[in-house]
Amino acid sequence: MKFYKRNRSYNWLFKRRAMRNRIIQTISFLLILLFAAKCSLAQDKTLSPEQVIQIVRKYHPVAKQADINIEKAKADITVARGMFDPLLYNSSAQKKFDGTSYYYYNRPELIIPTWFGIELSAGLEYLSGSRTDPQETQGKTSYVGINIPLARNVLMDKRRAALQTAKIYKAASEAEKKTILNDLLLDAVTTYWNWVKRYQLYSIISNTVKVNEQRLDLIRISFRQGDRPAIDTTEALTQLQSFQILQAEAWMQFQNEGLILSAFLWTENDRPYVLPADITPDRGLLYANIAGIVLPELNTLLEKAANSHPELAQYAFKMDALLVERKLKFQQLLPMINFQYNQLSKGYDFVKISNGLLFDNNYRYGISIGLPLRFSQGRGEYKKAKLAIVETQLQMNQKTLVITNKIRSIFNELATLQNQAVIQENIYLNYLTLQRGEETRFQTGESSLFLVNSRENKTLEALQKLTELKAKYFQCMAKLNWAAGILGQL
């Protein structure tokens, strides 16, 4: 009879403990759900990497300075085109001495440069006086003329070279802007993912603190009911306090990383923007399935880099400018032969000029020839221009190799990080399974709170490591696009 009563009391005690454990599990599950719901409701203001890229591209001072460089290059084109602007020129002179009018001369002239080095001119002349040059025609005359280079400056001259070079530098400034944006956005996106990582680590620690607070309350209740020893409350409190320290540190690191990210965020009015504490990352990025992300095609990246990498484009534009320079320097190896012809007319009647024959009457022409005997300067300048092209081509080849190797290296790193993230996620799930098993054993009295805490610490470390790997993965993805020169073009 005593054995029956003792066995009956043991059965009642076991049922009571089992019911209490189920109540504890239910309460813990509900608390976790409430905490998760609270967190999800708090994520009204989020910041995505696409938004960061857009803000940096539009409002960052460095990006705006790159736009200024493009505008300067456009101004240089306007300056170069000014060399082809028509020129209205007037020369006037008069001499009168001791009551004698030596001469009075006035000559307005219009000069029109053309693309092929030919200059058109038209003008009026008036000459009077008693001491004039007998070769000059007194009275009113008018003329229409042309100046033609026959050797040097036929294919290229300084005006054409300046305009072509200005256009090349304008395109080069646009490529330089892409290079600047490519580097700037890499720093911004890298900082963004550091900020995401710090936020996720803070969220993990905060969630762990909530769970341990509830666990401590339940263990205290069990202690007061006589189901748990007092040492378990001390063990739970110590675990909670260690997580609270980590939570405070994680919060500080998250806030500091937000300040670093704020350095890349500017307003439309060119004012720095401080990221508010209630702005959080897009939560969808935090739980991304790394294993399901398809890696970019390596050959496609290499092809894009070869065709449109802004740094290689700058070398290509530099090569184009050097080719123009070489054409100009080649002109110094040619003799200077200029032919000038003016069709003349009495008075200011241009109709009579157009009706005349070229070499019939009323004309003036001249030919000037200049020929260096050794062409030393021309040969030296032309050789320097050719060597500059060879030098730039070698630099471009070296830069191409560096970019190609960098893309391959970062691609290998990205593939490795993806594999590590997949393995680490399995490790975390295994630790989580062990932790839950240990918690179940603890609830049935077959384990201790010390072992539960040890399992929880391992699970937390694995989750933190997984978060860091995910952040490194997305940073490496941005770095890969940067190496291919397309980050600023996304």
pLDDT at 289: 84
Query: What stretches of 268-375 show up as alpha helix (H) in DSSP?
Result: 283-286, 298-308, 310-330, 350-355
Q: In a structure prediction context, what are the per-residue pLDDT tens digits for the chain, which is 490 residues long?
A: 433 334 444 344 444 454 455 544 544 443 443 444 344 434 458 899 999 999 999 999 999 999 999 999 999 999 999 999 999 999 999 988 888 888 999 999 999 999 888 999 999 999 998 888 887 888 888 889 999 999 998 889 999 999 999 999 999 999 999 999 999 999 999 999 999 999 999 999 999 999 999 999 998 998 888 888 889 889 999 999 999 999 999 999 999 999 999 999 999 888 998 888 888 887 776 677 888 888 999 999 999 999 999 999 999 999 999 999 999 999 989 999 999 998 888 887 766 665 555 667 788 889 999 988 888 988 999 999 999 999 999 999 999 999 999 999 999 999 999 999 999 999 999 999 999 999 999 888 888 889 999 999 999 999 999 999 999 999 999 999 999 999 877 6
Residue 43, helix vs strand vs coil? coil
Dihedral in degrees, nearest 10, Cα atoms 23, 24, 26, 30: 130
pLDDT of residue 292: 86
Return the closest-CA partner of residue 459 out of 293, 284, 239, 219: 239
Report DSSP state, residue 88: E
One-character DSSP codes across 206-268: HHHHHHHHHHHHHHHHHHHTTSS-HHHHHHHHHHHHHHHHHHHHHHHHHHHHHHHHHTT-B-T
- Into which CATH architecture does domain 17-78+160-325+382-489 fall? Up-down Bundle (1.20)
Query: ∠415-421-425 over CA atoms, to 5°?
Result: 155
Closest CA to 400 of 477, 272, 306, 316: 306
Domain boundaries, the chain: 17-78+160-325+382-489, 86-153+338-373
Quote the pTM value: 0.80
* 8 Å CB contact between 470 and 423: no
Which strand (E) or helix (H) includes residue 412? helix 376-443
In this prediction, residue 343 carries a pLDDT of 86
At residue 373, the pLDDT reads 86
CA distances from 253 to 257, 286, 379, 474 (A): 6, 17, 65, 20
SS3 345: strand
Amino acid 36: pLDDT: 42
CA 330 to chain centre: 39
